[in-house]
Amino acid sequence: MSKYTEEQLEEELKTQEYKYGFYTDIESDTFPIGLNEDVVRAISKKKNEPEWMTEWRLEAFRVWEQMEEPEWANVHYEKPKFQDIAYYSAPKKKPKLNSLDEVDPELLDTFKRLGISVDEQKKLANVAVDIVMDSVSVATTFKKTLGEKGIIFMPISEAIQEHPELVKKYLGTIVPTTDNFYAALNSAVFSDGSFCYIPKGVKCPMELSTYFRINEGGTGQFERTLVVADKGSYVSYLEGCTAPMRDENQLHAAVVELIALDDAEIKYSTVQNWYPGNKEGKGGVYNFVTKRGLCENNAKISWTQVETGSAVTWKYPSCILKGNNSVGEFYSIAVTNNHQQADTGTKMIHLGKNTRSTIISKGISAGQSQNSYRGLVQINSRAENARNFSQCDSLLMGNACGAHTFPYIEAKNKSAQIEHEATTSKIGEDQLFYCNQRGIDTEKAIALIVNGFSKEVLNKLPMEFAVEAQKLLEISLEGSVG
Amino acid sequence: MLKIENLKAEIDGKAILKGLNIEVKAGEVHAIMGPNGAGKSTLANVIAGKEEYEVTEGSIELNDEDISELAPEERAHNGVFLSFQYPVEIPGVSVTNFIKTAINETRKAKGLEDMPAKDMLKMIREKSELLEIDRKFLGRSLNEGFSGGEKKRNEIFQMAMLEPKLAILDETDSGLDIDALRIVANGVNKLKSKDNAVIVITHYQRLLDYIVPDFVHVLHDGKIVKTGDASLALELEAKGYDWIKELA
């Protein structure tokens, strides 16, 4: 008999284990720990990079050396010891693959255990998958179909070799190397990531999908993603993450840059499920990510994120609405449980006329976790008739967690219209009993209530991703109801 | 169907039910009436298995099986349905999604596959017509912004979908205007069969004009102090509850 009280709800939320806690034993090629100019040069050399790229990295490194780790976020953690991290790790077996059958069976098994097997992915007819495993892409599919449309979708390390002019033109233009501590670090040492270019007027016929995954113990992960949508083009990009269980904290400092030229649209969706640490708050990934997009005239960028993992999250996918009539959107679900801490939100920078932005943020806190929304809406003096709508909802479970909202609004143009709404609610025993009485057990009831709460954001995800995200929400919050 | 013997229950150490007996057979409609604070809603919640209430003595049998140790969802799987006096809101969960989940979870508990979407749709159509429910209503968030009448109609709609063996209607008439009352009562009457039973908990005679009970019980201070046929309800309406209190 499952007697259910508020205390037990809390108890159950504490007792769930990380489902993806395993370690794939693939031989790796890892640099010794520590970071200096020689290591930066070595990374660049390892990847056969041109001189300009090496110089770009070194410049970033020199800036980073002078910077201090930011402390303004509402998170508390032991700072990573940056000289104790290995800055490069690549699977040693790196054969050229003509088909997925040639992929290391152990790697395929890893993906199967994640419930995102490549086989499964292949069946999702319209999804091209570029899998990033510990920094280096080991499988790329559907390249041919994309190639016919002139779409470039490849690991950024290859793009540096094959399309240096494009990479050079756009890399670091949205998130400069000097932007912040983690962005500078990423610029210096990024190992790999994805590059995507959609030519003028082309609507990408499939969702572009990448799975990121940290594998090697003690390895930092520094992904770099660059998406350029040329005039009048459209692309929907999916990024999903899971990481195996590790005792020491792992650092993940990614940078994502999006560029939507005139009349282009980019949809960028993320499901993040890095290892959150155990229920005592030991271990887990530090997720310090810089994501930013630029909209030219009539362009649109939508960020949708489902954040369920990581011990500490520090992430603000943002839009610079430079062009007139451009549109920025941010839809977010952030779940924290046990001792997880999340400080996440967005920045909408309105520069052009008639620019519009929408922010929908749903925070779900359980256990002893802390969940903060931090957002900036900035209307600059020349941004006539700018509009923003923000909605920040928090759902609390139990009495030991916290939800915080830090909305910043700066309006320098009188024609601006800004709306902000916020709510906080709690899953009540009455709601659970009502569901129970209809034959729905407590675990399922929590999933139902949480999915209902998150619906506006889940609806923004591409179909196959939404199903996975819904599953993740359930896993993140599921207990062991007897 | 339902057999309750010497049921004693308390909440936060305070005794509410103090040795209650009732037997409800398949095909019957029982009304439970009584003044405020008599323990009517407690009885409904205890049968449904709400955890805050502690059963200290006695038994609750459903079809000869003691259900008093079962979790609320297990009682629901066994065919107990409670129409809530105050149905709760679940934002973002549509009426359809909620009832679909309830039906499929109940089927799962019985080792059955999910109900095929086609069958579910057909059933929803039938039952919503029965309760004069608009299709748009089914897409709305459960009970969010519903009027009193809509909430109660939705409860009976769920009852119609779940086809329980024992339905307990807790103050289903409160907050209903006369038209809604007629629709709800009409729905309940159509759902009645020789295989199921209904317990109507009410303060007033009004609902019993539409749902005619086979038995009327008067609950006072945690016990049933008088049982009669439908005419007892009329007598209570005319004379009030004070004379009952003296009986106790």
User: Residue B78: its chain A contacts at CB < 8 A?
Assistant: none
Please tell me the distance from the alpha carbon of residue A32 to that of residue A367, in angstroms, as a whole number: 37
Asked if B90 lies within 8 A of A430 by C-beta distance, the reply is no
pLDDT value of position A88: 73
φ, ψ of residue A404 in degrees (nearest 5): -135, 145
**What's the CA angle centered on A17, arms A366 and A365, to 5 degrees?**
10
> B155-180 b/e with 16+ CB inside 10 Å = b?
bbbbbbbbbbbbbbbbbbbeebeeeb
Three-class SS state of B241 = coil
> A46-75 b/e with 16+ CB inside 10 Å = b?
ebebeeebbebbbbbbebbeeeeeeeebbb
Residue predicted with more confidence, B60 or A215: B60
pLDDT value of position A95: 42
Q: In which element (H, E) is residue A61 found?
A: helix A51-66
pLDDT value of position A251: 82
Contact A366, A401 (CB under 8 A): yes
Q: What are the strands, taking DSSP E only, across chain B?
A: 2-11, 14-24, 29-33, 53-62, 65-66, 80-83, 90-94, 141-142, 166-170, 197-201, 215-220, 223-228
A395–chain B nearest CA distance, Å: 11
pLDDT value of position A216: 45
Q: Indicate if the pLDDT at residue B1 is higher than 60.
A: yes
Contact A130, A213 (CB under 8 A): no
**Around Cβ B51, how many Cβ atoms within 10 Å?**
18
User: Residue B48: its chain A contacts at CB < 8 A?
Assistant: 437
A265–chain B nearest CA distance, Å: 28
Please tell me the distance from the alpha carbon of residue B189 to that of residue B192, in angstroms, as a whole number: 5
Contact A395, A365 (CB under 8 A): yes
A2, A429, A444: residue with CB nearest B71:
A2
Q: Indicate if the pLDDT at residue B189 is higher than 60.
A: yes
Q: What is the pLDDT of residues B14-53, one digit of tens each?
A: 999 999 999 999 999 999 999 888 999 999 999 999 999 9
User: Residue B60: its chain A contacts at CB < 8 A?
Assistant: none
Q: Which pLDDT band holds residue B226 (cuts at 50, 70, 90)?
A: very high
pLDDT value of position B4: 96
Please tell me the distance from the alpha carbon of residue B104 to that of residue B110, in angstroms, as a whole number: 10
Q: What's the average model confidence in pLDDT over B179-196? A: 92
Domain range summary for chain A, segments of one domain joined by +: 6-477
Please tell me the distance from the alpha carbon of residue A287 to that of residue A141, in angstroms, as a whole number: 28
Please tell me the distance from the alpha carbon of residue A228 to that of residue A296, in angstroms, as a whole number: 12
Contact A421, A391 (CB under 8 A): yes
**Residues 432-461 in A contacting B (C-alpha not used; CB under 8 Å):** 433-442, 444, 448-449, 451-456
Asked if A439 lies within 8 A of B106 by C-beta distance, the reply is yes
ipTM of the predicted structure?
Answer: 0.96
Asked if A436 lies within 8 A of B71 by C-beta distance, the reply is yes
pLDDT value of position A194: 87
For chain A, list residues with pLDDT below 50. Answer: 1-4, 6, 8-19, 21-22, 26, 92-97, 116-117, 119-127, 134-140, 212-219, 247, 480-482
Cα Rg of chain B, angstroms: 18
Asked if B73 lies within 8 A of A436 by C-beta distance, the reply is yes
Q: Indicate if the pLDDT at residue B159 is higher than 60.
A: yes
pLDDT value of position A91: 53
A434, A439, A453: residue with CB nearest B105:
A439
**What's the CA angle centered on A111, arms A156 and A100, to 5 degrees?**
65
pLDDT value of position A129: 52
Residue from A8, A434, A451, A453 to probe the interface with B (highest B Cβ count within 10 Å): A434
Beta bridge partners of A139: A131
A4, A438, A452: residue with CB nearest B102:
A438
Contact A277, A308 (CB under 8 A): no
Distances (CA, A) of B239 to A170, B32, B97: 87, 17, 46
Q: What percentage of chain B exceeds 70 in pLDDT? A: 100
Distances (CA, A) of A175 to A64, A186, A256, A305, B69: 14, 11, 8, 19, 61
pLDDT value of position A82: 83
All domains of chain B in start order, with CATH:
2-88+148-247 (3.40.50.300)
**Around Cβ A181, how many Cβ atoms within 10 Å?**
17
For chain B, the first-to-last Cα distance in angstroms comes to 28
Please tell me the distance from the alpha carbon of residue A458 to that of residue A31, in angstroms, as a whole number: 40
B50, B75, B105: residue with CB nearest A440:
B105
